[in-house]
């Protein structure tokens, strides 16, 4: 079994659009929760979420390229690029057939799907769908475009396990390297589900907090007065690498990963709380 280490990190979050700002704001106790700006929440029970702030697509993608990607994929590319740069990896000098991407997303291109279906419903029944509809919505597109951009030919797939999706992706990446199937893997996850259908759907489950008068303290999972979770968006990326491979190329090492575990608990959540997921 091979040893696995972390050699790069990237992030775009509601409290910082890079790792440095994100970490500094965590230490300062900054909350990313605020009134939703992506759409009109007048008729919604939950009116706040943790939106990524100050993200300008034009800062990272030209107009033609941006049209190809749902926001969850844009977030993935930005975070992955930061992590790759942070790792100092020069892929042209490495065996790219042993470098892959295992990336997660719970919902994929939810905004794209919502907008395309809404536009069709308003029409006369003629199927005028964008040719980018399917590529923008499928969950594994983020893993694919990261690999395409950086010329990586190794393992490439997506994980989906609801709120544990990114953790599952990282465990899978860890296992592939541990088993000797890869030297390096870009891993993490992204989502962009702060949309009418995202907020509306989770709200109907009674899963979202409705503490609209005080969004910054609404996320309180272990509090007796908790009333649901707070929706967020963004991406987080790490570079996992085989230890000897990292040493050989002189990489900085943040940490060593020694294991990971998964516990399927969906039955327990829905069977022991008659009020449903919102009771959590």
pLDDT top residue among 264 and 120: 120
167 burial level (CB within 10 Å; 0-12, 13-18, 19+): middle
pLDDT for position 266: 57
Total number of domains in the chain: 1
pLDDT for position 110: 96
**CATH number of the domain that residue 170 is part of:** 3.40.47.10
Q: Across residues 26-32, what is the average pLDDT?
A: 96
Using a cut of 0.75, tell me whether the model's pTM lies above it: yes
- Using 50, 70 and 90 to split pLDDT, how confident is the model at 262? confident
Distance in angstroms (rounded) separating the CA atoms of residues 121 and 117: 6
Domain span holding position 156: 4-219+226-279
- Asked whether residue 127 carries a pLDDT value surpassing 60, the answer given is yes
Looking at 180-246, which runs of residues are DSSP E strands? 184-192, 233-242
Strand partners, 187: 102, 238
pLDDT in tens, 144-184: 999 999 999 999 999 999 889 999 999 999 999 999 999 99
Lowest-confidence range among 2-16, 37-51, 112-126, 251-265?
251-265
Distance in angstroms (rounded) separating the CA atoms of residues 219 and 231: 9
What percent of the chain has a predicted confidence (pLDDT) above 90? 91
Distance in angstroms (rounded) separating the CA atoms of residues 154 and 94: 12
Q: Of 184, 11, 169, whose CA–CA distance to 104 is shortest?
A: 169
- The set of residues, in sequence order, having a beta carbon less than 8 Å from that of 262 and lying 6+ positions away, is 161, 164, 167, 168, 171
* Helix, strand, coil abundance in the chain, percent, nearest 5: 40, 20, 40
Tell me the average pLDDT of the chain. Answer: 94
pLDDT for position 86: 98
Q: Across residues 92-113, what is the average pLDDT?
A: 97
The residue assigned the tokens 């069977």 is 271
- Using 50, 70 and 90 to split pLDDT, how confident is the model at 279? very low
Distance in angstroms (rounded) separating the CA atoms of residues 10 and 56: 17
Q: Of 11, 49, 15, 9, whose CA–CA distance to 29 is shortest?
A: 15
Q: Across residues 128-143, what is the average pLDDT?
A: 96
pLDDT for position 263: 67
Pairing mode, if any, of strands 184-192 and 99-104?
parallel
Strand partners, 104: 159, 189
């Amino acid at each position: 079994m091979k040893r696995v280490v972390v050699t790069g990190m990237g992030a775009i979050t509601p409290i910082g659009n890079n790792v440095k700002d994100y970490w500094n704001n965590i230490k300062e106790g900054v909350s990313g929760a605020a009134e939703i700006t992506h759409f009109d929440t007048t008729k919604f029970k939950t009116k706040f979420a943790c939106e990524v702030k100050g993200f300008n697509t034009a800062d990272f993608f030209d107009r033609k390229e941006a049209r190809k990607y749902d926001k969850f994929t844009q977030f993935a590319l930005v975070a992955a690029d930061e992590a790759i740069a942070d790792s100092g990896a020069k892929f042209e000098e490495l065996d790219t057939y042993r470098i892959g991407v295992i990336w997660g997303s719970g919902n994929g291109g939810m905004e794209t799907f919502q907008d395309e279906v809404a536009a069709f419903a308003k029409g006369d029944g003629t199927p005028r769908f964008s040719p980018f509809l399917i590529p923008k919505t499928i969950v594994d597109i983020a893993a694919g475009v990261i690999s395409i951009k950086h010329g990586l030919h190794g393992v490439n797939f997506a994980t989906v396990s609801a709120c544990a999706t990114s953790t599952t992706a990282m465990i899978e990446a860890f296992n592939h390297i541990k088993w000797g199937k890869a030297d390096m893997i870009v891993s993490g996850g992204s989502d962009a589900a702060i949309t009418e259908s995202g907020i509306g759907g989770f709200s109907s489950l009674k899963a979202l907090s409705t503490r609209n008068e005080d969004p910054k303290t609404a996320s309180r999972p272990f509090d007796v007065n908790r009333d649901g979770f707070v929706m967020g968006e963004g991406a987080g990326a790490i570079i996992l690498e085989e230890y000897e491979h990292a040493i050989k190329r002189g990489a900085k090492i943040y940490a060593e990963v020694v294991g990971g575990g998964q516990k399927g608990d969906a039955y327990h959540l829905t069977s022991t709380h008659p009020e449903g997921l919102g009771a959590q």
